[in-house]
Amino acid sequence: MALPYKWQWRVDRWKNALRGFFGVGGDNQPRPKLCPACGALVGISATRCHECGTSLRFSLAALSKGVSGIFGGRAPATTGLLIVNIVMFALSFIATMKAGQGGGLSILWGMNQEALYRLGDSNPYGIFVAHQWFRLVTAMFLHGGLIHIGFNMMVLMDIGPVVEEIYGSARYLFMYTAAGVVGFLLSVFTGHSSVGASGAILGMIGVMIALTTKRGGATMQALRSRLISWVVSIFVFGFLLRGVDNWAHFGGLAAGFGCGKLLTDREPANASERQTAYILGWLAAIVLVASFVMMMLHLQDKLPGT
């Protein structure tokens, strides 16, 4: 049976992106290329940009362009984060079912705590006693139930593409990861165990608040007022409901605000700025991948107290 048009288009786009990633042309027809670092038009057979000297095959810029092409769209990093969150939720739910839990409506709010620990939740024992610092990263991709992940992903898909479009995918991924790590670091220092993307997402709200302080006008003032009202509501909600980690929220918000103040609120404009952005993005990507590798290596460790 033939695929629907939209899905056929997506499959073709992914095929072409993968071919480009491995240096194979989509239709094998030679054509001029754009330098991924400075955007200059280069020759068909060129291997290095004549303007900025960037390698068109083996460079952070070329590799970043290939990876972003796989996810496509205007917000590839946000799409990638969404996919990882969903995959980790599925794994935690499968582990919960194997433990004899997760039946009925309990999927809405209850995940097996052993499953979350093994998959890398954030807790003082695992980080300060077992020295498993990767938990500061993996915990932001775990959730306590369907309501938890549903709300977080809804907000992520609402604000994530906006921040990514303003700052570019590389710096956006760095800011998201940094906000999540700082949020969970503050959380464990105050003795809390938690999971969820909300610390990193509050970080993106912090980035937007910082942006509105650097740009004038009534529109920015109105946006800042709405964002601050949103943040206040989230913290009030956290104080009223048991189990909400406001420390992780505050840490992520503060880290995001700091990133928003330090980084220029536009996409990189020249080769030097692009190179710096790619370094930040790949630093975040390496931390993410390494954290999940470490999680898998410690998957069968003894539980606390056993």
State the catalytic residue, choosing from 64, 92, 122, 198: 198
Instruction: Look at residue 126 and tell me if it is in a domain.
Output: yes
Q: Which one has a higher pLDDT value, 56 or 118?
A: 118
Convert the pLDDT of each residue in 272-304 to its tens digit: 888 898 899 999 999 999 999 999 999 988 887
Q: Residue 292 is encoded by which pair of tokens?
A: 């999940």
133/237 same-domain check: yes
- pTM attached to this predicted model: 0.79
CA-CA distance, 294 to 127, in Å (whole number)?
13
Instruction: Look at residue 6 and tell me if it is in a domain.
Output: no
Instruction: Look at residue 149 and tell me if it is in a domain.
Output: yes
Give whole-number Cα distances, 92 to 103, 111, 195, 213, 293, in Å.
Answer: 13, 7, 12, 40, 16
Instruction: Look at residue 166 and tell me if it is in a domain.
Output: yes
pLDDT of the residue at 107: 73
The alpha carbon dihedral of 10, 72, 74, 134 has a sign of: positive
In the residue annotation, 249 being an active-site residue is answered as yes
Convert the pLDDT of each residue in 198-222 to its tens digit: 999 999 999 999 999 988 788 888 8
Percent of the chain with pLDDT over 90: 48
Convert the pLDDT of each residue in 126-173 to its tens digit: 999 999 999 999 999 999 999 999 999 999 999 999 999 899 889 999
Domain span holding position 279:
76-297
- CATH number of the domain where residue 159 is located: 1.20.1540.10
Instruction: Look at residue 174 and tell me if it is in a domain.
Output: yes
As a whole number, mean pLDDT of residues 223-228 equals 89
pLDDT over 70 (residue 33): no
147/280 same-domain check: yes
Among 19, 42, 71, the domain boundary falls at: 71
57/104 same-domain check: no
79-116 core/surface letters (b: 16 or more CB in 10 A; e: else): bbbbeebeebbeebbebbeeeebbeeeebeebbbbebb
Give whole-number Cα distances, 205 to 199, 231, 262, in Å.
Answer: 10, 8, 15
196/228 same-domain check: yes
State the catalytic residue, choosing from 169, 249, 291, 298: 249
Give whole-number Cα distances, 38 to 20, 50, 54, 56, 268, in Å.
Answer: 18, 10, 8, 11, 10
* Domain count of the fold of the chain: 2
Ramachandran category for residue 107: left, alpha or beta (phi over 0 → left; psi -120 to 50 → alpha):
alpha
63/199 same-domain check: no
223/127 same-domain check: yes
Helix (H), strand (E), coil (C) string for 158-200: HHHHHHHHHHCHHHHHHHHHHHHHHHHHHHHHCCCCECCCHHH
65/103 same-domain check: no
Instruction: Look at residue 303 and tell me if it is in a domain.
Output: no
CA-CA distance, 200 to 179, in Å (whole number)?
5
Among 39, 71, 103, the domain boundary falls at: 71
In the residue annotation, 198 being an active-site residue is answered as yes
Instruction: Look at residue 120 and tell me if it is in a domain.
Output: yes
**Which band of pLDDT confidence, cut at 50, 70 and 90, is reported for residue 22?**
very low
180/42 same-domain check: no
Instruction: Look at residue 4 and tell me if it is in a domain.
Output: no
pLDDT of the residue at 17: 47
142/275 same-domain check: yes
153/50 same-domain check: no
Chain Cα centroid distance, residue 10: 22
As a whole number, mean pLDDT of residues 102-123 equals 83
As a whole number, mean pLDDT of residues 37-60 equals 56
65/121 same-domain check: no
217/160 same-domain check: yes
